[in-house]
Amino acid sequence: MRPRLAGLIWLLAALLAGPVRADAIHVGHFSLLPGQEGPNSHELIGDLPSDAETGAAVILPAGCTPTEETRQSMAGRTRFSLRFACAAALPAAAVIRLEWPLDGASFRPQGGAHISLLPADDGITLPLGVSLAGPRGGLAVLGDYLGEGLVHILTGWDHLAFVLCLCLLARGQRLLLLVTLFTLGHSISLAGGVFDWVHLPMPPVEAAIALSILFMAREALLPERNAGWQRQALITTGFGLLHGLGFASALGEMGVASDDRLIALLGFNLGVEAGQLLFVAAVLVVMAAARRIGWHGPVQTVALHAAGAMAGFWLLQRLSGFVA
C-alpha cells in the first residue's frame, strides 16, 4: 500500500475511533451493587456516553450520604461509580434521581431484573428499593445475561477489531483453531474475574487490550515474518486471557447477585460466543466476496490499517486517562 494512502486510512480511522462507541442518543446503563462498608452500604454503577452532561446533582434517598464518587472515561464511554451509606435498609419506595439530560436509561435493581426508564423533566429516576419483575428464575437470568453478552460483543469495537485481525491473519482450520484458543483464553479469565479469583486494575487492562489489537494487526500485515503456528497460538491465547478481563469488568458492572454468578457467567459467555461467531461469519462472507472480484488484497490491507489506527487512538486515549 502506498504510504500516503496508508496514512490517510490511519487518520480517518483515528478520527472515527473516538465516537465509534458513542450512542446516537444519550442512554445510560445503571445497576445497584451491595457496598463493602456495611449492610446498609451500596454502590451505584453507571455506563454512559462520554459526552453526556453529568455535572448536575445526584439526589440520594433520605437518610443516605455519599462516601465516594469516581468517573473514568475511555473509548467514548464514561464509567461512573457512586458509593453511599444509609442509616437504615432502603424502603420499597426508595429512589435515586439523576438530574442529567439523558434520553433514557436501563437499570438493574439489586437482585432484580433490568428495567427500561424514560426521562422526566427533572431527569432520570432509578427505583432502588423494589424489583419490578419480582424474583428471577434460573432460565430468566440465563436469558438476560445471554442477551447482555451478545449486545456487549457486537457493540464492543475493541474486541471486534481483535477478532477481525484474527480473521485476516489465518484461513480455514488455522483460523478455527485461533478463534477457539481466543475463546478459551477469555472464558478462563472471565470466570476468574467474575468469581474474584483475579484482581487487576482496569485502566492498564483496557490499555493493554488496545495494544493487543495493534500487535495483531501487525501480525496480519506481515504474515511472512510471523508464520509460526505455535507463536500465533500462544499470542492469541494470551491476548484472549487479557480480553476476558475486559468482559469480566463489563459483567461485574451489571450488578450480578452472588447466587446468580454461575448462571450469569454461563449466559454472558454464551452470548459473547454467539456474537463472536456471527461477526466471524460476516467477515468471511465479505472477504469471500472480495476475493471473487479480485479485491481481497486491498480490502484486507485497508481493514488491518483501519483496525491498527483505531487501536492506536484507543491506546493513547487510555494511557492519557492514567494522568487525567
Domain positions in the chain: 25-127, 138-320
Give me the percent of the chain exceeding a pLDDT of 70.
79
**247 in Cβ contact with 272 (< 8 Å):** yes
Q: What is the number of alpha carbons within 13 Å of residue 58 lying toward its C-beta?
A: 20
- b or e along 176-200 (b: 16 or more beta carbons within 10 Å of the residue's beta carbon)? eebbebbbebbbbbbbbbbeeebee
CA dihedral (116, 122, 126, 130) in degrees, to 10, reads -100
User: What is the share, in percent, of the chain residues with pLDDT greater than 90?
Assistant: 20
CB-count burial class (<10 Å; 0-12, 13-18, 19+) for 16: middle
Residue by residue, DSSP assigns 216-227 as HHHHHH-TTTS-
Q: Which three cell numbers stand for residue 253?
A: 458492572
pLDDT in tens, 2-54: 554 444 444 444 444 444 443 345 677 888 888 877 788 888 988 877 766 77
Mean pLDDT of the chain: 79
Render pLDDT for 153-201 as a digit per residue (tens, 0 to 9).
887 888 899 999 999 988 888 899 999 999 999 999 888 887 878 777 7
Strand, coil or helix: 266: helix
pLDDT at 236: 92
Q: What is the DSSP string of 160-198?
A: HHHHHHHHHH--HHHHHHHHHHHHHHHHHHHHHHHTTS-
| Cα distance between residue 50 and residue 207, in whole Å | 17
Phi, psi (rounded to 5 degrees) for 17: -65, -35
Nearest to 256 by CA among 126, 139, 116, 144: 144
- CB count, 10 Å around CB of 216? 29
Query: Where would I find the H helices in the chain?
Result: 3-17, 138-155, 157-169, 172-194, 202-221, 229-252, 261-292, 296-320
pLDDT at 14: 46
pTM of full prediction above 0.85: no
CA distance 220 to 218: 5
